[in-house]
Amino acid sequence: MNAIQAIRGMNDVLPDAVSAWQHIERHVRTLLGAYGYEEIRPPLVERTELFRRSIGEVTDIVEKEMYTFDDRNGESLTLRPECTASVVRAAIEHGLLRTPGRRVWTMGPMFRYERPQKGRYRQFHQIDVEIFGIAAPSAEAELIVMTRRLWKALGLSGLSLELNSLGSRDIQARYRARLVEYFSARADALDADSSRRIETNPLRILDSKNPSMQALIEEAPRIIDEHDDDARAHLDQLLAMLDEAGVEYRVNPRLVRGLDYYTGTVFEWTTGELGAQGAVCGGGRYDNLVAEIGGPANPAIGFAIGLERLVALLDVQSVELPVAMPHAYLASAGPRASILAHAVAERLRDAVPELRLVVDAGHGSFKAKLKRADRSGARLALLLGEEEARNGRIAVKDLRARGPQSMVSIDDLAGHIVRNVFAE
């Protein structure tokens, strides 16, 4: 029979890679907790309408990338392609918005039917962070200094920050008119996607990755030139806060991001070390989205980090990761000894709760078992034979130091391990 394989673009995270994931998850949890963020876990599946309304009908995600299906009741459901819409839906539904300045985060898989390539998958993972109820640029500044601290905590370097401000919906409407005028006058030079988008969503043209479009996009009008006093003051204040906190950034007037709900500040952290998929974190302000989903008017801002890309960057930058090897490996041989093995191991675990102990479950000689003990990375091998079992003793061999093995009474074993492994 043919072996069944994973779906294209959906990856198994294998034991070798998992320490990088855990390293990230651990730091994210600690850091976000320290900044006053609470974890939230929305479901992976939502009504399709939620994403259509929030992300926007004329975006790559909604037009061609969603995993959408009818359930048995004929209701259209979608595997979440991103998480902000779900978090906002949950925040409205459960009254989280009643406390201004509520900070939440979540982490988990997202699904987009994209063309799989290095760094771009169909199931990928994001850390998603949101602040509700703060209209001032202090919210943007907090998210940015917090991400900068996260890169440092993870041991990553060389990430650069770009930001832009898309302004209010009024500014966007004015800008949209100028873009339509500009691109319509150059209709012959547009690719098929961009021609279509002149009518439907001209801002998206700026997001085109087509090389033949880049010169045209470079010359296009800039949204910053449409800013009113409020938008200008907001951006200036944010930049002053970042300057004061010593954050380096570049204002990029072409940065528009791929989702329609953004108003005001947008930002992206990128690296040059991951080839074409260099965006590691993207976010921005979405002051209208809560109301657009049916909640009370409420300013909001957030970002998403791509976990696969952080994992890849840890690898490229050869960041050393803590690996949790077993402290001890217990092997037994003989009928009485093998019956005793788990009882001895459980006594040890009771006495030393932080002990990482593997019990050998295989057959073979002590020599073969010692080999397995060594391969496990354990510091100590605990060898329980028939004679030891009879005498209530166990042979302890330090696998990382040359030297004879010692005989230790099973009653003293926990103390021996604590003295030899944990006291260092």
Q: Nearer to ligand AMP by C-beta: 197 or 257?
A: 257
What is the C-alpha to C-alpha distance for residues 268 and 259, in angstroms, rounded to an integer?
13
Residue closest to ligand AMP (Cβ): 306
The nearer residue to ligand AMP, 137 or 306, going by C-beta atoms, is 306
User: Least distance from C-beta 387 to ligand AMP, angstroms?
Assistant: 57
Q: Which is nearer to ligand AMP, 48 or 376 (CB)?
A: 48
Nearest distance from residue 84's CB to ligand AMP, in Å?
Answer: 8
CA dihedral angle for residue 173, residue 199, residue 281, residue 82, rounded to 10 degrees: 110
Q: How far is the CB of 256 from ligand AMP (least distance, A)?
A: 11
Length of the chain: 424
CA distance 127 to 25: 9
Closest CA to 130 of 284, 237, 261, 265: 284
Q: Are 46 and 86 in contact (CB under 8 A)?
A: yes
Which is nearer to ligand AMP, 259 or 355 (by Cβ)?
A: 259
Nearest to ligand AMP of 114, 292 (CB atom):
114
Report the residue number, 83 or 224, with the smaller CB distance to ligand AMP: 83
Shortest spacing between CB 111 and ligand AMP, in angstroms: 9
d(CA 104, CA 370): 48
What is the number of other CB atoms lying within 10 angstroms of the CB of residue 146? 17
The least CB distance from residue 286 to ligand AMP, in Å, is 12
Answer positive or negative: Cα dihedral of 116, 122, 124, 128: positive
How many CA atoms lie less than 13 Å away from 47 in the CB half-sphere?
Answer: 10
> E strands within 112-181?
123-132, 160-165
15-34 and 138-154 helices, crossing angle to 10°: 140
CB of 124 to ligand AMP, least distance (A): 3
Q: Rounded to an integer, what distance in angstroms lies between the CA atom of residue 282 and that of residue 153? A: 19
| Closer residue to ligand AMP, CB minimum distance, 260 or 388 | 260
CB of 149 to ligand AMP, least distance (A): 18
Distance, C-alpha 106 to centroid of its chain: 9
**Residue 108 beta carbon to ligand AMP: minimum distance, rounded to whole angstroms:** 12
Whichever of 300 and 358 has its CB closer to ligand AMP, that residue is: 300
What is the contact surface with ligand AMP in residues (CB under 6 A)?
A: 82, 112, 114, 120-121, 124, 126, 258, 279-282, 304, 306, 308-309
* 59, 260 contact by CB (below 8 A): yes
